Structure 1
């Protein structure tokens, strides 16, 4: 396997890592494999390791080339910067298809939580000349073959406004252990004080990183992706834990409905149990006991079968 880090900007703050199968004489020599570009989540504040290499290795174990994109986050995450990063990575991958024995027709994009938002954004905007004028001569360079989304952010008004982070009472804001407070947002708008507890308005917290502060109604509409599905949007595989109290399952329902309205194939799994940020939902990505969920852990097999169904249509 060829593992390499490809930097996408001069200051080396954006890159993707490769997990490339070798062209072996014992494994269908010359075979051009499909590929998956993985976008980890992290609320556009950071990029989660739990949704990075473990996901890529899972896709690699299924026989696909895999890549992990570390896109612009934190104060650099103002849209459309992360979306431009995803497009640049997709174009680079397709441009090196022959060298890497990769089938450029079948480069899928996968993302989780905020990374799911990014993957879905590339999928709905790939042929939008206003968004991507630099690719107007060949939009296929950045077109995903399909999207694989785990508990994605889709509607920027459908995230938790009363997130319980276990803070009792009303401590000073700088004493609260919550690392997603944008400097251009008043902490009083992020921390909600009710019933002798302090909650987080995650909608404000995440959107602040996407827009550099308080977004306008126009910006919210522009990046609420159910509004921008077209007849050229690629097919989707979506999964969500039914108990997700951070990024509500209705995000996935809304996106699936928008896809169906445009006759875009969509496979949607909303499992009865399971919260947010599960990754593989097994012991490999476990950081807390509740992140292991046998139901949700079925998603990699389901996603691999879905990819095979796309390939059979060629």
Structure 2
């Protein structure tokens, strides 16, 4: 493994530490690796050491390259300087991706507290959006006004192009109220963004990876808190893919199991992952699906004798077409039907 320190811009004390794992040779079929960019917390006054290298080491163990960003902090560095540091860091990593064997489209951010606010900004409003964001006890609502003047309220910035998010926090956090995480989850849900959330019953603010080597656990420290690390790695595998057999660049990682969005309703073209309401409201799609609809009429039994097929479709309007076909065991050539739907504009 190589450890490099890079000055990514001219600002004093801003730096990027790169932990670069080997690829190829003994690591069979792994010629490039995904990466995480760790953004420590510290109330925009300092960068916490316990949320820096120890976090990077956890993802190194899972096979990721890891980078730690120490960004602009203190009263002399106002927003949006921290976001500009993030943009510089991502650009620097992507410019060195070939040399460092980084999969440039598979870089996630991991942020804590105020660093979680910066990671949330990366996921929502940054030019260089990450492939996913892991937000730990992050400042995501109006609380940001207490630590950074003119900084955005992240929960209000969520739109369709927001990156998938993994959220974790402690219910008993008395520094960053749990409402920050709850507000973000609601915003992600409304926008149809894929997310996972873990709110532990009790524990202090700033627990990092929850290891006793970082801080000792007292009675007010939930034993399950360390689980967030492995759960977040699983989330990254779900949304970015896992290592698989292959040597070509597009075969280094498997196809993601989970899309960035719950449905394809906001995509430019229809698909099996659009909701029934969206598909059935499109006359062209209904023509394309004539045979499929006939099979559905034979298989889907109305809840009451008075209900029509259209009534049933209204009941299932929020379900993805793919899901109801699976639930009702309707056998079709999904790949073929999906390809036909993807030629239909989503209007």
Normalising by structure 1, we get a TM-score of 0.74
The residue correspondences of 1:67-78 to structure 2 (distance < 5 A) are: 67-78=67-78
Q: Secondary structure at the match of 1:23?
A: coil
Higher strand fraction (1 or 2): 1
Counterpart contact for 1:273–1:295, Cα < 8 Å: no
Post-superposition CA distance 1:43-81 (Å, at most 9, x none): 001110000000001110111000000000012331000
After superposing on structure 2, the runs of 4+ consecutive aligned residues of structure 1 that deviate more than 6 Å are none
Match of 1:23 in 2: 23
Match of 1:120 in 2: 120
Counterpart contact for 1:45–1:77, Cα < 8 Å: no
Deviates more, 1:7-16 or 1:294-303: 7-16
Instruction: Give aligned pairs, total.
Output: 243
Match of 1:275 in 2: 204
Q: Secondary structure at the match of 2:160?
A: coil
Q: Give, in whole Å, the separation in 2 of the partners of 1:111 and 1:39.
A: 5
1:151 pairs with 2:80: no
Match of 2:3 in 1: 3
Q: Give, in whole Å, the separation in 2 of the partners of 1:310 and 1:77.
A: 34
Bigger relative CO (Cα 8 Å, ≥ 6 apart): 1
Root mean square deviation of aligned Cα: 1.8
Match of 1:103 in 2: 103
Cα distance, 1:28 vs structure 2: 2.3
Q: Give, in whole Å, the separation in 2 of the partners of 1:25 and 1:291.
A: 46
Which runs of 5 or more structure 2 residues have no equivalent in the other structure?
A: 242-254, 257-347
Q: Give, in whole Å, the separation in 1 of the partners of 2:17 and 2:81.
A: 19
The structure with more radius of gyration = 2
Match of 1:13 in 2: 13
Which runs of 5 or more structure 1 residues have no equivalent in the other structure?
A: 128-141, 160-202, 212-218
Normalising by structure 2, we get a TM-score of 0.67
Q: Secondary structure at the match of 1:110?
A: strand
Post-superposition CA distance 1:260-299 (Å, at most 9, x none): 1110001010011112000111212216747854211111
Counterpart contact for 1:230–1:262, Cα < 8 Å: yes
Q: Secondary structure at the match of 2:98?
A: coil
The residue correspondences of 1:197-236 to structure 2 (distance < 5 A) are: 204=146, 206=147, 210-211=148-149, 219=150, 223-236=152-165
